[in-house]
Amino acid sequence: MAKKMKVGFIGIGGIAHTHMPGWQASPYTDIVAGSDINPAVFPVWKKKYGITKFYKKPGDLINDPDIDIVDICSPNMFHAEQAVAALKAGKHVLCEKPLAPTPAQIKQMIAARDQSGKMLMTAQHFRFHGNSQAVKAEIVNGALGEIYHGRAWWLRRSGLPVAPTFIYMNRSGGGPCIDIGVHVLDLTLWLMGHPKPIAVSGVARTALALHEGAFSSWGILPIPKDMDVEDFAAAFIRFENGATLILETSWMLHHTPDEEGKVWLYGSEGGCQWPSAEFVTTNYKTKQLINQTLQLTRDRMEPHALECVEFAKAIAEGLPSPVPAEQSLSVQTILDGIYRSQKSGKEVKISVGE
C-alpha cells in the first residue's frame, strides 16, 4: 500500500470527534495534527487520540508540509477562507456543512479546487445513512419513475442552539436554514437526482425565539434578545425539469414530535418516504394500492465517520468526490434564494454556477 495520507483538523470541538472514527478506520489515513483557537482542548485530544502536534493558528496547520488532508470543523464564517487557503497549499479538503454561507464563497472554493487539482467535499452525512443509501438505490433502479414533486422538512419544537456561532448572522450565515435545512435539502436533491433549481418563493422569520420567556429545551437556556437569524423558514422551489419541492425547517415550532425530519417524494411510477424507506405504488391492472417497506440492516458505520472513510477512498482510488462542491452550490443557492425572497416578498429567479 502507498504511504498513508496525513490528516489535520481545523476546529477540534464537538463535531470533529464524530469524524475521528472514520479517519482511524480508513486504511489510507493517519491523523497527525489539530488546530483550535482554544488550546484547552489540546490535552483532551492528546489523551484521547494520541495526537501531539497542535497549532493555535489554522494557517500554521495549513502550511504544514506533512499534512495531505485538512478536515475543517470550524464555525461557518471561516469555511471559505480556510478551505481556499488549504487548497492553494495543495491539500485535499473535507469541510463541515454548510460548505460556505453564501453561493459566492462556494464558487471561490470551487475555483481554488480546480486550480489546485485537489479534492473538495462537504460533510453531508445524511447521505451516508444506510436507509438513505437503500432509498437512493431503489430510486436509481426506477422505483419512482420521473420524480415530479417532493416535500422535505426538519422541524424542532424547542431546539435552538444558543451558541453565538448559530444565532448571529455574521457568524453563521443564517438560522435553521443553514443549520438543519442544509441537511434535509441536500439529501432531498440527491435523492431527486439533482434537478436544476430555477426559482424560489420563500419566507424566513423569527416567529417564536424572541417571544417573552422563550427558551431552548437544550439545557433550558434563555435565548438572547439580540439574536438576528430566523427560527423558521419555508419555501416552494421550482426546477428546470418541471419538478417542484416544498421545504420547511425550524428550531422553534409548536410541533410534535419535538424533532422530526422527513422526505416524501412523488413520481410517475411510485412514491417513497425517508427515513422509513417506505415505497408506495399502484397496480393499475389489478386495481391494487401497494405499500412496501425496505428491509434495512444497521448502518455499517456511524455516518459522520463513514463520510471520512469514503472521502479518503475517493482520493486514494481516483474516484469522484462523494459530495461534489457543485451540488453544495445548488443547495446554498436555494437557501440564499429563500432569504432573498423573504426580503423582496416575491418569488426570485435563481441560477446555479453562473
What pLDDT was estimated at residue 297? 73
Question: Residue 300's pLDDT band (boundaries 50, 70, 90)?
Answer: confident
Residue ranges per domain, the chain?
A: 5-123, 127-302+331-349
pLDDT band at 1 (very low <50, low <70, confident <90, very high): low
**C-alpha separations of 11 from 20, 138, 222, 283 in Å:** 12, 37, 26, 53
| Span 58-70, pLDDT tens digits | 999 999 999 999 9
> Mean pLDDT across the stretch 119-139?
97
At residue 305's C-alpha, the angle toward residues 61 and 311, to 5°, is 65
pLDDT digits (tens, 9 = 90+) for 267-281: 999 999 999 999 999
Residue type, 130: G
Percent of residues, the chain, with pLDDT higher than 90: 95
Task: Determine the average pLDDT of the residues in 240-251.
Answer: 98
Query: What is the spatial distance between Cα 184 and Cα 162, in angstroms, rounded to a whole number?
Result: 21
CA separation, residue 224 to residues 71, 155, 162, 233, 327 (Å): 31, 21, 8, 20, 34
CB atoms within 10 A of CB 13: 14
3-state secondary structure of 162: coil
Average pLDDT over residues 204-232: 94
Q: Give residue 168's pLDDT band: very low, low, confident or very high (50, 70, 90).
A: very high
Instruction: Please provide the average confidence, as pLDDT, over all residues in the chain.
Output: 96
Helix (H, G, I), strand (E, B) or coil at 132: helix
Q: Are 350 and 334 in contact (CB under 8 A)?
A: yes
> What percentage of the chain carries pLDDT values higher than 70?
99
Residue 212 has pLDDT above 90, yes or no: yes
Which burial class, exposed, middle or buried, applies to 76 when counting CB atoms under 10 A from its CB (0-12, 13-18, 19+)?
A: buried
Q: Which CATH class is domain 5-123?
A: alpha beta
49 pLDDT tier (thresholds 50, 70, 90): very high
pLDDT in tens, 25-39: 999 999 999 999 999
Q: How confident is the model at residue 296 (pLDDT cuts 50, 70, 90)?
A: confident
Is there a contact between 36 and 56 (Cβ–Cβ < 8 Å)? yes
SS3 28: coil
**Average of pLDDT values for 242-251?**
98
Residue 343, pLDDT above cutoff 70: yes
Answer whether residue 4 shows pLDDT above 90.
Answer: yes
Q: Which CATH architecture has domain 127-302+331-349?
A: 2-Layer Sandwich (3.30)
Q: What is residue 221's predicted lDDT score, i.e. its pLDDT?
A: 87
181-190 pLDDT tens trace: 999 999 999 9
Predicted confidence at residue 78, as pLDDT, reads 97
- The residues, any chain, with a CB within 8 Å of residue 163's CB and separated by 6 or more, are none
* 191-204 tens-digit pLDDT: 999 999 999 999 99
Handedness of CA 199, 144, 190, 246 (dihedral sign): positive
